[in-house]
């Protein structure tokens, strides 16, 4: 199907329909009332026990008094939201087409605790970038950004089986339904795993992939003496993360339902669960370069869709069971941001990603690079995909 081919209509199993976001006012009133009556714990006896009381209290106050959900709705609605059923599940996505005839389709997949909010600050630069300093037109893309199953305004699976591989297959189906036979793909966190699975399972569809979190193990027989000092620090950081920073993951991959009762019932609980990661996984003080409103935008999507449990179930579905060994043969690109929690050595990445055309280690940024350092993030995609 060509990129400009019409979308099938009339059959609800394949129809793509516009989605207009309009949260009922009573839901927002309920949120405000819960924030007014928020009950917070006593301060931690040691900072290592989690995000601080003062920080959460201030975020709750800002959410109640300053955050404008209707601004978020308007921004998402103006960008172009749609829904369609894929493999029996309703999927929400942004589809923002470039006015440029030479634009290429780009699928961007978020992770946890992210959402489609992560692409909002880079959309203009990707879709309609204008000319570079040399007067030449910068690369342009038609951006498709789905909400993962159980996240945001996609449906919640009602049974098991919606793991990384099934999502990758669904995304291949979604892009075909939109008329994109071949496309570029990008993702971090769970989005990295979905993007990599797409490249492995649908190599004829993925023209090139880019990730900020490459999934690669230590190759058999690898000589550790070949590691640089920086790479040794990266691996030590991964071990420290597993020791003190992975409790959220253990809970979500084992008992997501139990966790969900608290997250779905308490906006302060959902906010703290998310905000802690924006503090821990960004580069610098506070939320690094992520604007506070973007953290609240993201938390609001989780709260208003009651997706605390359903989003966590992806860990139960896929953590520890996702393919991280199959060779990736499609052209690949990797951008390493310093505050990312998992940074494998380049030799490990090259052993799995057999056609690595771009590798760059950035000076700043972290897990939420598109929000922290949007200019650097866009530059990485432009540079990488120029080699597709």
- What's the rounded Cα separation, in Å, for the pair 178 and 1? 9
Tell the residue number behind the tokens 């690079």, with chain if given. Answer: 369
CA distance 70 to 362: 35
The pLDDT value recorded for residue 13 is 61
Q: Which residues contact 344 (CB under 8 A, 6 or more apart)?
A: 214, 216, 217, 234
CB atoms within 10 A of CB 113: 25
Mean pLDDT, consecutive 10-residue stretches, the chain (388 aa), reads: 39 83 98 97 95 97 98 97 97 98 98 98 96 88 98 97 98 98 97 98 98 95 93 95 94 97 98 97 93 98 98 95 93 98 96 98 97 98 96
Q: Specify the pLDDT at position 136.
A: 87
Tell me how far apart the alpha carbons of residues 108 and 147 are, in angstroms, rounded to a whole number: 10
- Note the pLDDT of residue 4: 37
Distance, in Å, from the CA atom of 195 to the CA atom of 198, rounded to the nearest integer, reads 5
Backbone angles phi, psi at 384, to 5 degrees: -65, -50
User: Distance (Å, rounded) from C-alpha 129 to C-alpha 382?
Assistant: 11
Q: pLDDT value at position 11?
A: 59
Which pLDDT score, from 0 to 100, does residue 12 have?
58
> Is the Cα torsion angle 153, 380, 350, 203 positive or negative in sign?
positive
């Amino acid at each position: 199907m060509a990129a400009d081919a019409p979308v099938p209509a009339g059959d609800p199993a394949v129809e793509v329909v516009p989605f207009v976001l309009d949260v009922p006012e009573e839901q927002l009133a309920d949120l405000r009332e819960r924030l007014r009556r928020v009950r917070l714990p006593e301060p931690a006896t040691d900072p290592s026990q989690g995000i601080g009381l003062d920080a959460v209290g201030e975020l709750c106050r800002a959410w109640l008094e300053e955050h404008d959900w209707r601004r978020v709705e308007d921004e998402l609605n103006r960008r172009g939201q749609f829904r369609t059923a894929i493999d029996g599940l309703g999927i929400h996505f942004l589809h923002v087409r470039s006015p440029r005839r030479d634009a290429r389709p780009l699928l961007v997949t978020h992770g946890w605790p992210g959402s489609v909010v992560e692409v909002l600050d880079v959309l203009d630069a990707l879709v309609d970038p204008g000319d570079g300093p040399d007067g030449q037109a910068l690369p342009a893309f038609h951006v498709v950004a789905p909400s993962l199953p159980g996240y945001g305004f996609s449906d919640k699976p009602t049974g098991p089986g919606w793991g990384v591989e099934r999502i990758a297959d669904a995304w291949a189906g979604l892009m075909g339904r939109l008329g994109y036979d071949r496309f570029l793909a990008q993702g971090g966190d769970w989005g990295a795993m979905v993007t990599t699975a797409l490249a492995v399972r649908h190599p004829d569809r993925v023209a090139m992939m880019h990730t900020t979190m490459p999934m690669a193990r230590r190759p058999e027989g690898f000589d550790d003496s070949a590691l640089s000092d920086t790479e040794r620090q990266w691996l030590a950081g991964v071990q420290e993360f597993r020791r003190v920073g992975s409790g959220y993951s253990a809970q979500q991959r084992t008992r997501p339902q139990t966790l969900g009762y608290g997250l779905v019932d308490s906006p302060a609980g959902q906010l703290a669960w998310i905000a802690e990661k924006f503090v821990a996984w960004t580069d610098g003080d506070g939320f690094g370069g992520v604007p506070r409103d973007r953290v609240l935008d993201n938390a609001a999507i989780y709260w208003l869709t009651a997706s605390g449990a359903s989003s966590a179930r992806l860990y139960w579905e896929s953590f520890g069971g996702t393919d991280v060994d199959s060779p990736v043969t499609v052209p690949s690109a990797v951008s390493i941001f310093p505050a990312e929690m998992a940074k494998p050595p380049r030799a490990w990445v090259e052993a799995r990603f057999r056609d690595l055309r771009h590798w760059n280690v950035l000076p700043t940024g972290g897990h939420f690079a598109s929000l922290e350092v949007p200019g650097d993030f866009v530059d990485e995609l432009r540079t990488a995909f120029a080699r597709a």
